[in-house]
A and B are shown apart, each in its own frame.
Chain A
Amino acid sequence: MNVTAAGAAEASLPLTVALLGNPNTGKSTLFSALAGIPTRVGNYPGVTVEEKVGRFVHAGRPIDLIDLPGTYSLSPKSPDEKVAVDLLRGRLAGMPAPDRIVIVVDATNLERNLYLASQAIEIGLPTVIALTLGDAAADRGIAVDAAELSRRLGCAVVPVVAPRRQGIAQLADAIIAALPPRQPEGLAAALAAVDPAQLPAAREAIGRYAWIERVVEGVVRRRPVARSIDDRIDAVVTHRVWGTLLFALTMLAVFTSIFWLAAPLMEGISAGVDTVAEVVRGLLPEGAVRSLVVDGVIAGAGSVVIFVPQIALLFFWIALLEGCGYLSRAAFLMDRLLVGVGLSGKSFIPLLSSFACAIPGIMAARTIENPRDRLLTILLAPLMSCSARLPVYFLMCGAFVPNVPVAGIPWLRLPAVVLASLYALGVVVAAVAAFVLTRTVFRGPPQPFVMELPGWRWPQVRIVLERVREATWSFLSGAGTTILAMSVVLWALSHYPRNEAAVEAEVASERTSLRARLDGEEDAAAVADLSAALDALDTPEGLDAARRGAAQRQSFLGLTGRFIEPVVRPLGWDWRLGCAAIASFPAREVVLGTLGVIYNLGDVDAGSEEGGTALVRRLRAATWDGSRRKVFTLPVALSIMVFFALCAQCASTLVVIWRETGSWVWPVASFTAMTVLAWLGAFVTYQLGTFLVG
Chain B
Amino acid sequence: MTSLREIAVGSTAEVELITGSDPTSERLLEMGITPGVHVRVVGVAPLGCPLELEVRGYRLSIRRSDAARVAVFPSVGPRSPRAGSASLRRPLPR
Interface, chain A (partner B; CB < 8 A): 72-73, 75, 77, 108-112, 115, 140, 142, 199, 201-202, 204-206, 209, 213-214, 216-222, 224-225, 227-228, 230-231, 234-235, 238-240, 243-244, 328, 332-333, 335-337, 339, 345, 445-455
A73-B30, A238-B46 given as contacts; is B85 within 8 A of A453 (CB)?
Answer: no
Min CB–CB distance A71 → chain B (angstroms): 10
A199, A220, A231, A455: the one contacting B88 at CB < 8 Å is: A220
CB pair B27–A450 under 8 Å, yes or no, is: yes
B77 at interface by CB-CB < 8 Å: no
Min CB–CB distance B23 → chain A (angstroms): 5
CB pair A111–B32 under 8 Å, yes or no, is: yes
Which residues of the partner chain B approach A110 to less than 8 Å between Cβ atoms?
A: 57, 88
What number of residue pairs across chains A and B have CB atoms under 8 A from each other? Answer: 157
Chain B 61-89, CB-CB to A under 8 Å as 1, else 0, gives 11100100000000000000000110111
Bound CA span A216–B87, Å:
7
A206, A244, A450: the one contacting B62 at CB < 8 Å is: A450
Count, chain B residues at interface, CB 8 A: 44
CB pair A328–B61 under 8 Å, yes or no, is: yes
CB pair B63–A449 under 8 Å, yes or no, is: yes
A216-B85, A238-B43, A337-B47 given as contacts; is B32 within 8 A of A332 (CB)?
Answer: no
CB pair A332–B52 under 8 Å, yes or no, is: yes
CB pair B59–A209 under 8 Å, yes or no, is: no
Which residues of the partner chain B approach A238 to less than 8 Å between Cβ atoms?
A: 43, 45-46, 52
A112-B56, A201-B26 given as contacts; is B61 within 8 A of A206 (CB)?
Answer: no
Min CB–CB distance B25 → chain A (angstroms): 7
A333, A445, A452: the one contacting B60 at CB < 8 Å is: A452
Bound CA span A581–B87, Å:
66
Residue of B nearest to A227 (CB): B93
A209-B37, A332-B50 given as contacts; is B27 within 8 A of A453 (CB)?
Answer: no
Bound CA span A32–B25, Å:
35
B31, B50, B90: the one contacting A112 at CB < 8 Å is: B31
Which residues of the partner chain B approach A453 to less than 8 Å between Cβ atoms?
A: 52, 58-61
CB pair B30–A115 under 8 Å, yes or no, is: yes
Which residues of the partner chain B approach A108 to less than 8 Å between Cβ atoms?
A: 57-58
Min CB–CB distance B87 → chain A (angstroms): 5
CB pair B35–A206 under 8 Å, yes or no, is: yes
Bound CA span A327–B59, Å:
14
List 4 additional A-B contacts (Cβ < 8 Å) besides A238-B52, A453-B59.
A204-B29, A240-B46, A328-B61, A447-B23
B13 at interface by CB-CB < 8 Å: no
CB pair B57–A445 under 8 Å, yes or no, is: no
Bound CA span A110–B58, Å:
10
Bound CA span A269–B57, Å:
49
Min CB–CB distance A599 → chain B (angstroms): 49
Which residues of the partner chain A approach B8 to less than 8 Å between Cβ atoms?
A: none
CB pair B85–A448 under 8 Å, yes or no, is: no
3 cross-chain pairs, A with B, having the tightest CB-CB distances, nearest first: A205-B29, A336-B47, A213-B85
Min CB–CB distance A446 → chain B (angstroms): 6
Question: Which residue, B22, B43, B57, has most C-beta atoms of chain A within 10 A?
Answer: B57
Min CB–CB distance A442 → chain B (angstroms): 16
B42 at interface by CB-CB < 8 Å: yes
CB pair B61–A451 under 8 Å, yes or no, is: yes
Bound CA span A184–B72, Å:
31
11 A-B pairs whose Cβ atoms sit less than 8 Å apart in the complex: A75-B26, A108-B58, A111-B57, A204-B29, A228-B93, A240-B46, A332-B52, A335-B47, A445-B23, A448-B24, A448-B66
A218-B87, A227-B93 given as contacts; is B32 within 8 A of A209 (CB)?
Answer: yes
Bound CA span A336–B93, Å:
27
B23, B29, B89, B93: the one contacting A231 at CB < 8 Å is: B93
Bound CA span A227–B91, Å:
8
CB pair A209–B62 under 8 Å, yes or no, is: no
CB pair B58–A201 under 8 Å, yes or no, is: no
Which residues of the partner chain B approach A228 to less than 8 Å between Cβ atoms?
A: 90, 93
Min CB–CB distance B39 → chain A (angstroms): 13
CB pair B88–A206 under 8 Å, yes or no, is: no
Which residues of the partner chain A approach B93 to less than 8 Å between Cβ atoms?
A: 227-228, 231
CB pair B23–A220 under 8 Å, yes or no, is: no
Which residues of the partner chain A approach B85 to less than 8 Å between Cβ atoms?
A: 213-214, 216-217
Residue of B nearest to A218 (CB): B87
Which residues of the partner chain B approach A455 to less than 8 Å between Cβ atoms?
A: 58-59
CB pair B18–A202 under 8 Å, yes or no, is: yes
CB pair A446–B26 under 8 Å, yes or no, is: no
Bound CA span A238–B50, Å:
11
A222-B87, A453-B60 given as contacts; is B45 within 8 A of A335 (CB)?
Answer: yes
Which residues of the partner chain A approach B27 to less than 8 Å between Cβ atoms?
A: 72, 77, 448, 450
Chain B 1-44, CB-CB to A under 8 Å as 1, else 0, gives 00000000000000001100111111111111011010000110
Which residues of the partner chain A approach B48 to less than 8 Å between Cβ atoms?
A: 336
Which residues of the partner chain A approach B29 to less than 8 Å between Cβ atoms?
A: 201-202, 204-206
Which residues of the partner chain A approach B43 to less than 8 Å between Cβ atoms?
A: 234-235, 238
CB pair A452–B58 under 8 Å, yes or no, is: yes
B58, B84, B91: the one contacting A109 at CB < 8 Å is: B58
Bound CA span A448–B25, Å:
8
Bound CA span A336–B52, Å:
13
